[in-house]
Amino acid sequence: MAGLLLSVPASAQQWLPPHDAVHLAIDAQPNVVAARARLDAAQAQARALRVGSHEFQVTVVSQRRSTDELGGRQRFAESEIGISRALRLPGKARLDRDIGAAGIDSAELRLDDARHQAARLLLEDWMAWLRAAEAVQRTSVQLASFDQEQRVLVRRLALGDVAQKEVELLEVERAQARAAQLAAQAALDSARLAMQSDFPSLPIPAHAPDVAAPLVLQGTAEAWIARIIARSHEIGALESDARGAEARAARARADRIADPTLGLRRLSERGGAEQVNGVVLSLPLGGRYRSALAAAESANAAALHGDAAAMRRDIQHEAVLTVTSATRRSAQWQAQRDALAASEAVLKRVKRGWELGEIALSEWLLVQRQHNQMVGLEAAARADAEQARLRVLVDAHDIWHDE
């Protein structure tokens, strides 16, 4: 596989795994390995169809003849040797090659689709790990902030500047922050284990990279939707199956005139006194069985064309949702970023008021709690927006594919 990540901006690669590692991890997926084996089987089947199933047959007969004649009982050694082979009628070889080619096309497309599904899974696992790592970092910062505030408050308590209940109130917030940090760490461990289970060969860094501001998809939504549909492996695989069924139907119709068998025959009778050389031609007579097979394959081809049309509709629907989600997620993140900026201004003002004794500790803690939620919402919206954009690139085969 070559040419991975050719169209991915350099800034997008900062938080994506190296493309060589992605290539190896995807190719090692069990469904990809199975699809590759099916491609090997389809190629072997195509070779078999190309040469045909007819083979030479050799017949050897040895016998002894016993006769009663005027001179007495006579015994003779006799033998028969024959060689024959069925001959594929003109046009059938081309149909067999078409059947084999359609099988290879279908297997190749299903191999690409297996890689595509693996790429989707890798994106989900990787972004889940980045989200969990960001949550650990965020909650650790929040916990460190409460630790610092607690030390300051304990010193103020010793000086008589604050009451004991304020220290206890802050301790409650600190305990909650500690619980949130532990939960985030557990989620990070689970995300790492999930990715290691799904992609054992993928190296996972000790520290997750930060997801920066999401990039914007270049081009119109209509162009991306058309690109996703045009590059769908599932549609192409069903269309290849339909072409193969059409070729098999034509082959079954051609088989209504069966392939003749031509052979040479040599007989030696009465101890070699009589020699016979001959040509043997046999021709099966096709009947309703072969006609029924042709009708069945024609119906199967029509069904597969219907399946391909239905798949195209489903892919189009999914493509619209995927591209629309990327646009909406980006807008949601921008709104969340603006809300976080406003929250930071409020937090600074309220904290300053608490430090000056103008605002109660409970009010500052409430604002701090709300701000922490805003930080988490902004981080989630940022990761969602970037994952939605990358999902469009994966579905359009612009990253992690070899086309």
Alpha-carbon span 376 to 134, nearest angstrom: 9
pLDDT score, position 13: 53
**Is residue 144 scored above 80 in pLDDT?**
yes
Alpha-carbon span 337 to 346, nearest angstrom: 14
Q: Which residues pair with 68 in a beta bridge?
A: 73
pLDDT tens, 157-189? 777 776 788 778 888 888 988 999 999 999 999
Domains observed in the chain: 18-395 (1.20.1600.10)
| Average of per-residue pLDDT across 185-210 | 92
Better-scored residue on pLDDT, 72 or 252: 252
What's the pLDDT band for 2 if we cut at 50, 70, 90? Answer: very low
Mean pLDDT for the chain?
Answer: 87
Lowest mean pLDDT among 97-106, 169-178, 251-260, 269-278: 269-278
Lowest mean pLDDT among 8-22, 45-59, 310-324: 8-22
**Is residue 74 scored above 80 in pLDDT?**
no
Mode of pairing for the β-strands spanning 261-269 and 274-282: antiparallel
pLDDT score, position 285: 77
User: Cβ distance 255 to 238 under 8 Å?
Assistant: no
pLDDT tens, 339-390? 999 999 998 998 888 777 788 888 888 888 899 999 999 999 999 999 999 9
**What is the four-CA torsion angle of 341, 342, 348, 353, rounded to 10 degrees?**
180
